[in-house]
């Protein structure tokens, strides 16, 4: 568990339900990322979700509303202008949330 500012993240675990309402899968690549972070995810049910990314200091870096579906989906986030460091990506619906940690490297 990580706590910083107004942000708390339970890293690596999916906090959901066992009744098929949580995410079927979520993965990030490449990790570390320098320019573009690719996010692959699917849900057992179609629903609205919020994708947020916070820095290790708790600062909101990115926010977007997404529509989840049972099919595998891919989403891209341009991280090229972000400072290097550790970030926490959260995909959240009313019923569940999933948090993943990734590293942003320099553009080198």
Distance, in Å, from the CA atom of 16 to the CA atom of 59, rounded to the nearest integer, reads 24
Sign of CA dihedral 65, 76, 26, 30: negative
pLDDT at residue number 87: 98
Q: Is the pLDDT of residue 4 over 70?
A: no
User: Comparing C-alpha atoms, which of 54, 65, 64 is closest to residue 6?
Assistant: 54
Mean pLDDT, all residues of the chain:
85
pLDDT digits (tens, 9 = 90+) for 64-73: 999 988 889 9
Q: What pTM was estimated for this model as a whole?
A: 0.78
pLDDT digits (tens, 9 = 90+) for 41-72: 988 888 899 999 999 999 999 999 999 888 89
Question: Per the structure block, which two tokens stand in for 82?
Answer: 């972000």
What domains appear along the chain, each with residue ranges and CATH number? 2-12+24-103 (2.60.40.1930)
């Amino acid at each position: 568990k990580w706590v910083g500012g107004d942000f708390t993240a339970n890293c690596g675990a999916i906090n959901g339900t066992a009744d098929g309402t949580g995410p079927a899968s979520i993965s990030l690549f490449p990790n570390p990322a320098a320019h573009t972070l690719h996010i692959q995810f699917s849900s057992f049910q179609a629903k609205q979700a919020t994708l947020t990314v916070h820095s290790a200091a708790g600062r909101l870096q990115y926010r977007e509303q997404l529509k989840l579906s049972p099919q595998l989906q891919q989403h891209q986030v341009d991280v090229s202008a972000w400072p290097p460091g550790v970030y926490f990506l959260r995909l959240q619906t009313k019923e569940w949330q999933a948090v993943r940690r990734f590293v942003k490297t320099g553009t080198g």
